[in-house]
Each structure stands twice: as C-alpha cells, then as structure tokens.
Amino acid sequence: MVMDGAPSVEAKSFPMPPSDNLKDRLLDDLAKSGFASELRAAEKFKTAGWQLTSSGQVFDSVDNVSKELDIKAWYWGLPKAQPTDLLVSFEILGEVKKTEKAWIVFDPSGPIQVDRTFADKLLIHSHRLKNPDFVAVKIAGQTSAAQTHWVGTGIHEAFKKPNAPSRWFRAFQKISRFAKTRHADMSLFPPHAPALVTLFHPLLILDGQLFAAKIESDEICLREINEAAVQFSEAQPDVNDKPIHVDVVTLNFLPTYLARINKAHVIVTEKALPDDRRTKTED
C-alpha cells in the first residue's frame, strides 16, 4: 500500500548468485567444453608477464572466413629493460585443447643442430640489426625442439575413431596460418623505422597427457613428455607451405615454457645490435 504523497517505488530485480546446484552444473559444463582450460592457460600467460588481446578473432584469407584463436598474447619484457633504439616483441598465437585421451608425438630421433638453418623454421623478423643470425639462433635455443633435441613428424590422438576429424591438424593449420600471415605483414614495416626483432610463434597447449613414440630395437617405445616440437606445413594452393616448428606443451608445463621464452627475450634485448647507420631521409 502506498501512502498519499509518498514517492512511488518501482520494483527492481537484482542479480542473484547461482544456486550451488547450478554452479556445479556450470563448472562441469566449462570443464567439458574446454573453456576452463583456456581460462587457466590465459591466467598462466598473465602471471608470466604476457598481455592478452581482448579478442582473438582473426581473418583466414585461405578459407575466407573469420576464426577465433584461444590465445593471442604479446610480450615486450620489462619497460625499463627495453633500450630506446630497439624494440623486441614476441607474439604467441595459440590453441588450447582439452582431452581425456593421450596424444602421441612421433619421434624420428634424428639429430638436430641449433644453427641458422634450424632457426629458419621459426617466424622471426629482424629489422636493421647488425647480428640477425645470432639473434635468431638465441631465440631458437629456448624453443621445444632445441630443449628436447628432436622434432616430431606428426601426432596421433589415442583411441580416436578413424573417420573422426583430427583436432591437432586443424589447430596446427589455424595457428600456423595466422603466424605466417603476421610474419608476412612485417614486410610492410617502414624501412627507416628503428631496429626491431619480432617473433610470431604458433603454440598448442594440451590439457591432458602427452607422449612420444619412437622405434628402438624394432620395438615401439613410449615415454610421457611435457613438450615437443612438430614440423608442420600445408601443401595446397594459396597457402604458404614453408615448413615451420609448432610447439606443443602441456598446460601444467606452460609456466616453465613461458619462462624460457621470456629468457630468450632478455638475451635478445641485451645482445641484439641495432644498425647505427642513418640515411639522409632520417636526418
């Protein structure tokens, strides 16, 4: 009942916290969908000092559609550590996959050497540096291939039905295309801009068990691993088919992996030598 002369009060609805039963159902749905794994991966990037974009949507010029990336992150290092005449920027384009079934990387056990040819399997752009080869090798030294001393040739998803689509291939396809596109865009960088080092790195983060399989004495041997590098390329029209290394790391191992990539950033920041030459147009 409203008294004469009293202001009327409209009924308002306030958001109520979900019931315990609904919360449990929502948390279960997040876990099953894989979104909880994405949240945990994003939090590990933030803890390691990386910045994540508010939207991971990118345009796939090959399929002519927009797609979403689970992780699109940048690392510039500590502001005080960045020299005024050099910009070092690392970018990771990642997909997060949750699985109850193990993934197995094929290990051919071929010897690798971390040199300039090896570093060419990474998407590194250097601009106006005196020592670009040195920089590329130092970055490559912190990646999964250099740390494990082998490069995989493919992945098997355990217990997958033969006619079921391959999750790892679709993920590799997406992140490698976007990383190559970002790398190619650097050709538009102004020639008289300051010295620059950029890394565009595709990464698959697995919330599940990861194994390596290799042949020893004519027997297949399995071992559980935390990370692996896989060489990947696409052989189809309108696609850059350059073979590149895509790193695969387990979600629990991600902080250790990011610490290594951050270490590479520190080394490059300290050791890269900007080209001091100036042209008349810069004076």
CA-based torsion, 162, 165, 171, 177: positive or negative: positive
- Confidence (pLDDT) at 282: 39
Q: pLDDT per residue over 94-108, tens digit each? A: 999 999 999 999 999
Q: pLDDT per residue over 53-94, tens digit each? A: 855 566 666 666 667 899 999 998 765 555 668 899 999 999
Structure tokens that stand for 55 in this block: 């939207």
- Confidence (pLDDT) at 134: 96
Amino acid at 17: P
Q: pLDDT per residue over 223-273, tens digit each? A: 999 999 999 998 765 666 889 999 999 999 999 999 999 999 999 999 999
Are the beta carbons of 229 and 246 closer than 8 angstroms? Answer: yes
Query: What does the DSSP assignment read for 16-82?
Result: PPPPHHHHHHHHHHHHHHTHHHHHHHHHHHHHTT-EE-S--EEEETTTTEEEE-SEEEEE---GGGS
Average pLDDT of every residue of the chain? 86
- Confidence (pLDDT) at 277: 43
Is residue 32 over pLDDT 80?
no
| Burial of 60 from C-beta contacts in 10 A (0-12 / 13-18 / 19+) | middle
- Confidence (pLDDT) at 162: 85
